[in-house]
Amino acid sequence: MSDDKQRLAGELQRHGITRRAFMKFCTSVASAMALSPAMATQMADRLAAIQRQSVIWLSFQECTGCTESITRSHKPSLENLIFDFVSLDYHHTLQAASGHAAEEAREAAMKAHGGKYILLVDGSIPIKDGGVYSTIAGMTNLDMLEHMAKDAAAIVAIGSCAAFGGLPAAAPNPTGAVPVSDIVHDKPIINIPGCPPIPVVMTGVLAHVLTFGIPELDGMGRPKAFYGDTIHDRCYRRPYYDRGLFAKSFDDEGARKGWCLYELGCKGPITHNACATVKWNNGTSFPIQSGHGCIGCSEPDFWDAGGFYKALSTGSANPGSWAAASLAVGAAAGLASGFLNKGAKAEAERKHQAITVDDMRGKSDE
């Protein structure tokens, strides 16, 4: 029982949350991750047993949007509670301590749970000029990540910045921002991209990691449970795409009828995420349902993939701008080549020798 107080079960009790309420929560998480519902009980048992300080959150070159997403709630939710419990001891935005005390707490947590803690990272890591463009307590992000990753059991890269580089890595990438996977190569890394990721995706994956270990990942290290399908695969506006009914501009007749947003730049076909099924704000809506095309925020380089409002089939460069120059070069080359040809022709005519039939008979040995 007193051991319970150190565990999540104790924390839940302190907040007056019944085991029944916790079961309901685990059932919905298991359902969202397409796990067998029978595993909800297992998940509840194991989650209840997790201790504090088993998770350390590192914030690097980020906008804090991922933290906002995971804690976004004007009323406390069970997710927030669990989350606060597991990462209370080191999280820049949520922790009580600051300054040296905070850094000491981080080191202490690392030592106490060596080899067993999960590292959560949000934000990219700048590496240009020795990594000076983002530092915490005088330590560069690069050094801190390498130091903390050594003893971690696994690393979860939260948000597109940590997973793929994100906004800081967009052209011209002045700070040399790179994702976590470019720095750490010897630990399992789970990427949870999105700008920001959907809250239940973050908590669901975290719950899975803490209870059953690392979920099945795709080629880019993303959990297949949430990133296996593209938005296009599960979009409720697919019937319109298939029938070729597209909105031509925002708020036109087609847009009001809820037609497909392909022509308005929707990147749904190439974006892997759970927005179309899980949705945002507790299942309220997602960008396409609200009439705006998907911007592809959970894929790498989405900032540099051409405009958000240009269809996927358009180029991200502007080939037309080279037209005049190309025509001029081609014309000049053509004229030059033409002159050379004329010269060769004139030369051939000049060298032309008339021959007679007798000449031909005599030249049989040539």
Task: Give min distance, CB of 282 to other proteins, in A.
Answer: 5
Task: Give min distance, CB of 71 to other proteins, in A.
Answer: 17
CB atoms within 10 A of CB 264: 22
Task: Give min distance, CB of 66 to other proteins, in A.
Answer: 20
Task: Give min distance, CB of 13 to other proteins, in A.
Answer: 6
Task: Give min distance, CB of 139 to other proteins, in A.
Answer: 31
The alpha carbon dihedral of 215, 216, 221, 222 has a sign of: negative
Which CB sits closer to other proteins, 109 or 274?
274
Which CB sits closer to other proteins, 77 or 173?
77
Of 324, 261, 321, the residue nearest 290 (C-alpha): 261
Which CB sits closer to other proteins, 94 or 305?
305
Task: Give min distance, CB of 318 to other proteins, in A.
Answer: 8
Task: Give min distance, CB of 337 to other proteins, in A.
Answer: 5
With b for 16 or more beta-carbon neighbours within 10 A and e for fewer, the 293-313 pattern comes to: bbbbbbbbebbebbebeebbe
C-alpha radius of gyration, the chain, whole number? 30
Residue 166, phi-psi category: left (phi > 0), alpha (psi -120 to 50), beta (remainder): left
Which CB sits closer to other proteins, 290 or 364?
290
**Cα atoms found within 13 Å of the Cα of residue 290, Cβ hemisphere only:** 11
Which CB sits closer to other proteins, 96 or 171?
171
Which CB sits closer to other proteins, 119 or 207?
207
Distance, in Å, from the CA atom of 358 to the CA atom of 364, rounded to the nearest integer, reads: 11
What is residue 50's DSSP assignment? P
Q: Judging by beta carbons within 10 Å of its beta carbon (0-12, 13-18, 19+), is residue 341 exposed, middle or buried?
A: exposed
Task: Give min distance, CB of 347 to other proteins, in A.
Answer: 16
Which CB sits closer to other proteins, 93 or 318?
318
Which residue, chain included where needed, has tokens 């070069």?
329
Of 196, 205, 220, 176, the residue nearest 59 (C-alpha): 196
First and final C-alpha spacing in the chain = 111
Which CB sits closer to other proteins, 20 or 350?
20
Of 147, 174, 145, 148, the residue nearest 162 (C-alpha): 145
What is residue 67's DSSP assignment? H
